[in-house]
């Protein structure tokens, strides 16, 4: 039973990583566009909107959403293009 559940978690983790990779690829495209337009790459208002939208879904705790996305945003900011 535990082995099966762990296998399920592994599959979910694999999907999460794939989606994070896709998200980062899109972030790179946005950064390139913003660079061309001489815009600031980072938009705190947009980050807050994302967190608020996801918190309002009430699928998991707001605290988890906030912590997770702060890490996601920070890693996006620190990526070289």
For 76, residues 6+ apart whose C-beta sits below 8 A from its C-beta are 23, 24, 27
Question: What confidence tens digit (pLDDT) does each residue in 46-55 have?
Answer: 999 999 999 9
Question: What confidence tens digit (pLDDT) does each residue in 1-19 have?
Answer: 999 999 999 999 999 999 9
Range of the domain at 64: 2-77
Q: Check whether 44 has a pLDDT greater than 80.
A: yes
Query: Which pair of tokens denotes residue 28?
Result: 């790179």
Query: For residues 51 and 1, what is the distance between their CA atoms, to the nearest angstrom?
Result: 35
CATH number at residue 23: 1.20.59.10
Q: Check whether 29 has a pLDDT greater than 80.
A: yes
| Number of compact structural domains in the chain | 1
pTM over 0.85: no
For 73, residues 6+ apart whose C-beta sits below 8 A from its C-beta are 47
Ramachandran class of 38: left when φ > 0, alpha when ψ lies in -120 to 50, beta otherwise: left
């Amino acid at each position: 039973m535990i082995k099966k559940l762990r296998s399920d978690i592994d599959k979910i983790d694999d999907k999460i990583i794939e989606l994070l990779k896709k998200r980062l690829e899109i972030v790179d495209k946005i950064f390139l566009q913003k660079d061309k337009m001489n815009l600031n790459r980072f938009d705190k208002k947009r980050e807050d909107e994302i967190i608020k939208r996801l918190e309002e879904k009430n699928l998991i705790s707001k605290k988890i959403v906030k912590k997770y996305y702060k890490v996601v945003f920070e890693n996006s900011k620190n990526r070289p293009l």
